[in-house]
Amino acid sequence: MSGKKNMAIGFMTMGAFMAYGFLLIYLRDFAPDKIDWVSTYSVGKHFESRLAHVHGNLFAFLNILIGYLLLQYKNKLRRVKTISWLALAGLLMPIGILSEVYFGLPPVLVLIGAIAMTTSVIWLGISFLNIKLQNED
């Protein structure tokens, strides 16, 4: 199952953050207080919301890619489940940003997610360096 859940959750997360992008467009172009929203383009909730949107889609895409690679190379890689779970835990970063913006929560989830995703990507990279492919000397 490792890899499959990354792809499935990755696609669902990407869809959710794409929909969130439509909300951001609404707030920028159509909301009654759009002038106030646009005036805070690079600070505060507006900036943080854009960070969540971008990182949510990036981390969703990374889960799709990591999931695909884990499925393709599961017999040649070690610690596939660990890498899979770390990549999924990485989604806590954009969720944490949104929880800061909308609920005023501390950035603990942001840090946990960032560390988890970074660890999964580096671990997978090292794992690929350590496998021997059939055409390799």
pTM for the full model? 0.91
pLDDT digits (tens, 9 = 90+) for 29-81: 999 988 888 888 788 888 999 999 999 999 999 999 999 999 999 999 999 99
Residue whose C-alpha is closest to residue 10's, from 62, 50, 72: 62
Domain encompassing residue 76 = 4-130
> Residue 134: is its pLDDT beyond 60?
no
> Residue 19: is its pLDDT beyond 60?
yes
> Residue 135: is its pLDDT beyond 60?
no
Tell me if 48 sits within 8 A of 101, measured CB to CB. yes
Number of domains in the chain: 1
Q: Is residue 136 part of a domain?
A: no
94-98-99 Cα angle (round to 5): 115
Q: Is residue 62 part of a domain?
A: yes
Q: Is residue 135 part of a domain?
A: no
